[in-house]
Amino acid sequence: MGDPLISIDRLARHYSVGGEVVRALDGVSFDIQAGEWVAIVGQSGSGKSTLMNLLGCLDTATSGTYRLNGADVETLSDDQLADLRNKEIGFIFQTFQLLPRASALANVELPLVYRGISRKERRATAEQALRSVGLGNRMHHRPNELSGGQRQRVAIARALVGDPSLLLADEPTGNLDSQTGEEIIRLFGDLNARGHTIILVTHEPKLAARCPRAIKLMDGRVLGDGPGAEVAALQGPRAVGT
Amino acid sequence: MRRAWQRTVSEWVEGLRIALSSLAANHLRTFLTTLGIVIGVMTVIAIVAIIDGLNASFATQIGNLGTHTLYVDKWQWINTRDDWWSMRNRKNMGRTELEAIEREATEALAVAPMAGRSVTVAAGAEELSGIRCTGTNQRYLETGGGSVAAGRFLGPTDVELSRSVVVLGADVADRLFPKVALDEVLGKRVRVRGAPFTVIGVMARRGRMLGMDLDTNVTIPFTTFLRDMGGKRSITIAVTSAPGRLSQLEDELVGILRRARRVPPEKPDDFSMNRQDQFLKLYNQLTGALYGVAVGVGLITLVVGGIGIMNIMLVSVTERTREIGVRRALGARKRTILLQFLIESSVVAALGGAVGTGLGLGVAVFVALVSPLAAAVTPGAVALGLGFSALVGLLFGIWPAWRAANLDPVEALRYE
Ligand SMILES: Nc1ncnc2c1ncn2[C@@H]1O[C@H](COP(=O)(O)OP(=O)(O)OP(=O)(O)O)[C@@H](O)[C@H]1O
Ligand SMILES: [Mg+2]
């Protein structure tokens, strides 16, 4: 295998809250190759979202290094990070993060706006993305006119629309019924098969078990890293990692 | 390269779209925010329009004084109270000076005496009092004295022979001979200060100059004036130069007059040269001060309006913290966010400026209708109003926009 797409080394993210230090992420190291499909699992508060924000170049680490495509993210300028988020990364947030006053279509178009794609092309691409998540008939609805699952799918369409090489999904199926969730996972499977790297946070051991690889976090540290089925089965701190 | 350009274009378009939709979503707030700007711009536009109107009417009025004419007089027309006392004691201006200038001034194209007093003019039962009677010669018109609408002006022989002929001002002709055609007024007999005169001409209408009605006057030969209206008064002598040689003429006249009036070399001039541009200068000083007040008032209200805009933009940034986080997460650069909010604040302010300009022009037109003040709407004033308000929006939008652009994306996304 060549250079890993993602390489993090002793990555830490500490918050100080009222004089007390919260170690949301406390020295995490792993590599992810291009084309992998990795699940991040762990209890609530174990640092999954914190890790995703760092991987998504939205946040900067307190210490440690993060190399994306061989480039040390720490050395990139703010504009370069913005362009990276725009072109290379598709982010699906745990809380959707749709613009409330914009239609589903406008929400999905947004990444393309910041890429400087013409209005017509933008529209066509966004419509295509919405259809691919089964929302072809809800394009002009606003988020508050959509169900939770539909909103989630708008968020997914928005992450996919720019055809990013790295897809980061924080609980993408948390709000979906099992059948829709299944469809989304199948969609991810297709994307992965086409070469997209996918990192997916999930609470569901069943889902993690289906991923080729899973990383389990606990209190900001890696508890286990290995084939999905094995890691998903890990229990508590006495379990041993790789 | 092409991409970068396209990106810039879509950033602007998006910024404008966001600004408009955000303004549309908050009608009332937008309205209240712009109120300060509206009032500021309205005040400035109204005052400027009125001043411009005054300027235009003043320019026409002052045009009644010859541009290339010096008015030699015992009095300085524009003076202070202190000057007045010293000028009172000056020797009267009279025939001696007139003849000296006519004889010696090589720079002079035309020389006309102007003796004046208030008289009563009558024809039949019609009697007009408070009419200004000017005694002058045939060169008077050349010094900027207007033009003749019917008949003729005074000729050399009228002056030489001290004929009892008169040229009526437009209003005098109208009022003495209402409903009579101008041509038929010629040859009529009128009484000026009781003495019989024959009408030889009627002046074209001239309007007003500095509060003086130039159409309620009569003009008679200078010599006749001295004979019938009293010869002891000090006169004014209008002397016209070739274009661009006014100062040469002035220098020459000073020498001639000092000799004619026997002013000792160590004494200052005991006469004054009045000219049109002195009035312009004085007038410009006055309106300059008025302009200053208008600009001051306008600036203060604009600053107040600007602070209002800054305040509301800060609120808007806080309200849309999450939106900013989302945009940043999806690839908006800092300056994209900055631009978005700057566009919004400029658009609000320019909107206020447009409304204020409209209202200000309305006020100016209203003032012009109900008062003698004129109002002129110049494109410059409108551009000034719009440009200034947009600039205020831009300036006062910088701080809120800067705050928006520098929000931490993760924290912005987490904002409740
Ligand atoms: N901005 C912050 N300030 C202080 N503490 C924070 C902040 N963000 C996260 N934390 C803390 O860091 C820890 C990890 O949070 P994180 O959101 O990564 O958990 P998670 O694994 O995503 O949980 P969940 O499954 O519930 O989403 C938590 O204890 C949380 O309280
Ligand atoms: Mg989380």
Q: Are B349 and B34 in contact (CB under 8 A)?
A: yes
Q: Which of A85, A97, A98 sits opposite B331 (nearest CB)?
A: A85
Taking an 8 Å cut-off on Cβ atoms, the answer to whether B409 and A118 are in contact is no
For A113, the token pair is: 């706006």
Four-CA torsion A111, A117, A123, A125, nearest 10 degrees: -70
Domains of chain A: 6-232 (3.40.50.300)
pLDDT of chain B along its 416 residues, tens only? 667 788 788 888 888 888 888 877 777 887 888 888 888 888 888 888 888 777 777 777 777 777 788 899 888 887 766 677 777 888 888 889 999 999 999 999 999 999 989 999 999 888 999 899 999 999 999 888 788 999 999 999 999 999 999 999 999 999 999 888 888 989 999 999 999 999 999 999 888 776 678 889 999 999 999 998 877 888 999 999 988 888 899 999 999 999 999 999 898 888 988 888 787 788 888 888 888 887 788 888 888 889 989 998 999 999 999 999 999 999 999 999 999 999 999 988 888 888 888 898 888 888 888 777 667 777 877 887 788 888 889 999 999 999 999 999 999 999 88
Mutating to test ligand 1, I would choose from A25, A41, A49 the residue with most ligand atoms within 8 A of its C-beta, which is: A49
Among B304, B341, B301, smallest CA distance to B321 is for B341
Q: Which of A53, A79, A91 comes nearest B333 by C-beta? A: A79
Contact of B335 with B398, CB cutoff 8 Å: no
What is the C-alpha separation between B149 and B131, in angstroms, rounded? 19
Instruction: From chain A, pick out residues whose CB is under 8 angstroms from the CB of B409.
Output: 58-59
Residues B68 and B243: beta-carbon distance below 8 Å: yes
Which ligand approaches the C-alpha of residue A216 most closely?
1
Q: Cβ(A114) to ligand 1 under 6 A?
A: no
Q: How far is CA A185 from the centre of its chain?
A: 13
Closest residue by Cα to residue B355 from B57, B134, B42: B42
CA angle B230, B233, B235 (to 5 degrees): 120
Q: Do A86 and B323 touch (CB under 8 A)?
A: no
Instruction: Name which of A198, A188, A157 is nearest A56 in CA terms.
Output: A198
CA distance linking residue B312 with residue B315, whole number of Å: 5
Q: Determine the residue among B3, B16, B321, B330 to mutate to test chain A binding: the one whose Cβ has the most chain A Cβ atoms within 10 Å.
A: B330
Distances (CA, A) of B11 to A78, B355, B357: 17, 27, 30
Q: Which helix (H) or strand (E) holds A68?
A: strand A63-68
Nearest Cα of chain A lies from the Cα of B280 at a distance, in angstroms, of 58
Burial of A76: CB neighbours in 10 Å, binned 0-12, 13-18, 19+: middle
DSSP letter at B161 equals T
Q: A21: which strand partners?
A: A16
User: Nearest by CB to B410, which of A53, A83, A115?
Assistant: A53
pTM of the predicted model over 0.90: no
Chain B environment of A118 (Cβ under 8 Å): 6, 10
Instruction: Indicate whether residue A13 lines ligand 1 (CB < 6 A).
Output: no
Q: What does the domain layout of chain B look like in residue ranges?
A: 7-61+280-414, 69-274
Task: Tell me if A47 CB under 6 Å of ligand 1.
Answer: yes
Task: Chain A: give the shortest CA distance to residue B299, in Å.
Answer: 36
Q: Do B409 and A91 touch (CB under 8 A)?
A: no
A35 to chain B, minimum CA–CA distance in Å? 22
Inspect the interface and report whether the beta carbons of B331 and A91 lie closer than 8 Å. no
Q: Which of B143, B119, B118, B115 is nearest to B235 (CA)?
A: B115
